[in-house]
Amino acid sequence: MTMKKIFTYKVLFLTAALVLIFAQACKKKNEFKQEDGQDTVDTRTVQGENDAAIGDANTVLGDQALLSGRPAGEKLSKVAATSICGMTVDTTQVTAGILYLNFDGTVCNNRKREGQIKLTIVDYPNKKWKQAGTILKLDYLDYKITRASDGKFILLNGTLNVTNVEGGTWVDLAFFGKPKIVHEVKGTLIKVKYENSNITAEYNIHRRYTYTYNNLVFTCKGEGLGTNDGLSSLENWGTTRDGHAFTSQVTSPVMWNTTCGGGAPIDGEIVIKVEDKSFEIRCIFAVNSNGDEVSVAPNTCAYGWKAEWKYKKKTKSRIFLYN
């Protein structure tokens, strides 16, 4: 091979390498510009609805003396109504440790809920919900939550296992001075469908909830216990509505209360990473309409939350109003 040909090949190789580097840089730049935070919205919606569902389960179990383990004070009916909007409780299998939460599609605070959640006390009647180590199995049965203002929805199917680590119920917090209740939640491959998506997302959930009670309000601190792909403190991970792998890592405990609900945290921060994206997205909870962090006073709620992402020296953000 002549020196001229060798030189030509080197030039072509270097040119191709430069084109590839330039193309990759352009791709990363375009991804940064086009990012809209949708993956963060989906993750927060799923996690918020899980938090809310577990909160509803705690409320319902507090009313059921047979399952909770407290002394019976009322006569059970086959279908008992609760104070939770749009929901009735089917107690026809309560003697087997099973309840069904039925949702009738009533719009409550911009949320329309349909489908069922099945609650099962594992190893009932040997185990009651107030006992330390008891496991509550929570099955989503075509559980659909729609935002009434724009028709966007998520449809959940799958199982969560909630372990009552230290024992006690919300009733013990509210009336008998128990300082805290600790639950650990695990869910594997929870199926999630979104509007305008033919792909079924999958979520693995591993969280610790610590509940406290003060001035008629239950407050929950959510921490991530999961590990995946070398990361720890994950609250959830899996695949997005587009089929991309993601992780959601808790960098500061996510706080919510019964005044604002699981979908409107009053404090906390998480970091979301999606495969093939050259940047991570930082989610900051409890901000005002300008995106500034605020300290939420008792019995009040924040405006919303902020997603923020960086590429090189540039930063973009988007502010989301709590539903």
Compute the Cα dihedral for 291, 234, 205, 300 and give only its sign: negative
Within a 10 A sphere around the Cβ of 237, how many other Cβ atoms?
24
DSSP annotation string for 10-27: HHHHHHHHHHHHHHHHHH
Give me the pLDDT at residue 9, please: 52
Give me the pLDDT at residue 52, please: 92
Residue 122 neighbours by CB under 8 Å, 6+ apart: 97, 134, 135, 136, 137, 161
Q: Indicate the pTM of the whole model.
A: 0.85
Give me the pLDDT at residue 7, please: 52
CA-closest candidate to residue 263, choices 42, 37, 52, 114:
52
Count Cα neighbours of 306 within 13 Å in the Cβ-side half-sphere: 16
Within a 10 A sphere around the Cβ of 253, how many other Cβ atoms?
19
**pLDDT tens-digit profile of 76-114?**
444 444 579 999 999 999 999 999 999 999 999 899 999
Question: Per-block average pLDDT, block size 10, for the chain (323 residues)?
Answer: 57 50 46 72 92 93 86 47 84 96 95 97 96 98 96 96 96 92 97 92 97 93 94 96 95 94 93 90 95 88 93 89 87
Within a 10 A sphere around the Cβ of 102, how many other Cβ atoms?
17
C-alpha distances in Å from residue 236, one per residue of 9, 16, 44, 189, 248? 49, 40, 10, 10, 5
- Report d(CA 121, CA 178) in Å as an integer: 22
Contact 311, 282 (CB under 8 A): no
Give me the pLDDT at residue 14, please: 54
Label the pairing between strands 281-287 and 245-257. unpaired
* Domain layout of the chain by residue ranges: 35-321
Give me the pLDDT at residue 34, please: 64
Residue reference for tokens 């030509």: 8
Residue 242: phi and psi, rounded to 5, are -100, 5
Give me the pLDDT at residue 2, please: 65
Give me the pLDDT at residue 79, please: 42
